[in-house]
Structure 1
């Protein structure tokens, strides 16, 4: 499965987090619960219930 294929705006969201040192990181969220951490080029999967609650709070 390639998460980057066929991903429209409804299936992914981006969040930007500013760290204490002032650097900014980007997280790319996929509707199925996966998160891509761009700085390290790695994926991780969140707990479905927590992820979907967070997903629904984002515009």
Structure 2
């Protein structure tokens, strides 16, 4: 899986949201133009972070 992600990184490929991958909030913010908009909506919908899991914290940051 990591080899595929490294190979595709040069093309600006983005991972499928429902699949396991190593990218975190920092990398996704570079790849997804509206990533911060999504994070803002998430904070509005769940301001106390009750729905956040360790995996979501990795993907979306805090």
Report which of the two has the higher share of helix.
2
TM-score, L = length of structure 1:
0.22
Larger Rg: 2
Report which of the two has the higher share of strand.
1
Instruction: With a CA cutoff of 8 Å and minimum separation of 6, indicate the structure with the bigger relative contact order.
Output: 2
